[in-house]
Structure 1
């Protein structure tokens, strides 16, 4: 069982969760000691919520399906000054979380994104990698924001994130965060993080259907963004 973080945790980590009972033990065991995990159960049909509670995580329920719905609920429940976000599927090494949160804590950046580097050959499906590259290119062309990955590991100060007033509650939420941050003139930075094969069945970008849904959501947001 992971050690409990101090009451004055510097970071709240929001973990959107849909049927991740198999992955959660490894995910929560890898947390740095200054991080409080907030697992947002987004309609799981397995024992995800029970597993997370048994491992000491703060668990909240968000019945409205969607990545954005889950993250928004977690951010509202957070109390730390700095909030991090990450998938709960075991695809990231959370011992590297300080790479993402460090520049925010130090006041060197307002939004830090984890740029994924595949640690194993099959960690990142080709269709998802190509879609990510195309979308990142469109963002650079359309907005001038220099970004190479729209990955889910990221960090911001909680009040700054809430101040962006994000509305997307589906897979477009991460992109809306980036676009709003760029429009607001916030300092955006990318740092390299390791990316591993997820544990269990993918519900979003690990499947072709999920990737197409994400592309549709994100392309719509890019199209709405003013030059």
Structure 2
């Protein structure tokens, strides 16, 4: 067992928010490398998602309040409780979607910079990686590019994506004091990580067509709601103090998320 495998097995916990993903959750869990633990958050499922996750060995917690951020917060609350009880000792937390669009088997690539103490926050960029045709609808690509453009203008942050596939140092994550309970969760993390000076980078990740129908980009109403929330989150944090990322030595495949001056 190499050092990265040991770090994954002993120090990495994975949080997976899920809403009616019975067709895909088993595939996501199957492809994950061996990690310290997996928390699947049942965000009001009416199908067999929770049952399948439990059968696959995941710890399932329930968050009846619908919302991506609410589910993530509940998963972290459970992990925090386990830490206090001495049942978990996470060094890093990964977030993966339950719809099988993320390649969960690529998790080690995102974990490595943190395990090597080269970064505190690693974002998997779908726009830098290879995407299956139709994996990201045009409105999603446009929305991501617009949000990243606004972050660059307002904060000087050079991000290319708001993708859900990400890994962050557990202790630094606590410092962010995450609050958003809906679609603004990912961008809140990226903005706060910048403000607090986390060493951040992006790594290209492949992205495939999800299993089933998207609850967000699958409909224009869902896309509009997500877009509104993301823009609102950017505007809300636009009045807060800017900060910069310390520079780190990066592998050639990684792209630093620096702050312009």
CA deviation after TM superposition for structure 1 residue 16, in Å? 0.2
What is the rounded CA distance, in whole Å, between the counterparts of 1:27 and 1:81 in structure 2? 22
What is the rounded CA distance, in whole Å, between the counterparts of 2:20 and 2:118 in structure 1? 36
What is the rounded CA distance, in whole Å, between the counterparts of 2:159 and 2:9 in structure 1? 33
Gaps of 5+ in 2: 1-5, 80-87, 243-261
CA deviation after TM superposition for structure 1 residue 63, in Å? 1.0
**2:158 aligned with 1:146:** yes
CA deviation after TM superposition for structure 1 residue 8, in Å? 5.7
Distance 1:222 1:7, change over 3 A: closer
Contact preservation (8 Å) 1:118, 1:124: no
Task: Answer 1 or 2: which has greater strand percent.
Answer: 1
**2:128 aligned with 1:120:** no
Gaps of 5+ in 1: none
Q: Which residue of 1 aligns with 2:95?
A: 85
CA deviation after TM superposition for structure 1 residue 153, in Å? 0.5
Aligned residues: 223
Deviations 1:166-197 (A, max 9, x none): 11111101111111111111111100111000
What is the rounded CA distance, in whole Å, between the counterparts of 1:37 and 1:24 in structure 2? 12
Contact preservation (8 Å) 2:8, 2:35: no
Q: How does 1:1-227 map to 2 (within 5 A)?
A: 9-78=10-79, 79=88, 80-116=90-126, 117-224=129-236, 225-226=238-239
Query: What is the TM-score of this pair, normalised by structure 1?
Result: 0.93
Contact preservation (8 Å) 2:8, 2:108: no
What is the rounded CA distance, in whole Å, between the counterparts of 2:120 and 2:8 in structure 1? 24
Of stretches 153-162 and 48-57 in structure 1, the one that deviates more from structure 2 is 153-162
What is the rounded CA distance, in whole Å, between the counterparts of 2:228 and 2:64 in structure 1? 23
Q: Secondary structure at the match of 1:92?
A: coil
Contact preservation (8 Å) 1:171, 1:217: yes
- Aligned-CA RMSD value: 1.8
Query: What is the TM-score of this pair, normalised by structure 2?
Result: 0.81
Stretches (4+) displaced over 4 A? 5-8
Deviations 1:115-167 (A, max 9, x none): 01343111111111111111111111110111000000111112211211111
What is the rounded CA distance, in whole Å, between the counterparts of 2:9 and 2:69 in structure 1? 27
Distance 1:51 1:183, change over 3 A: same
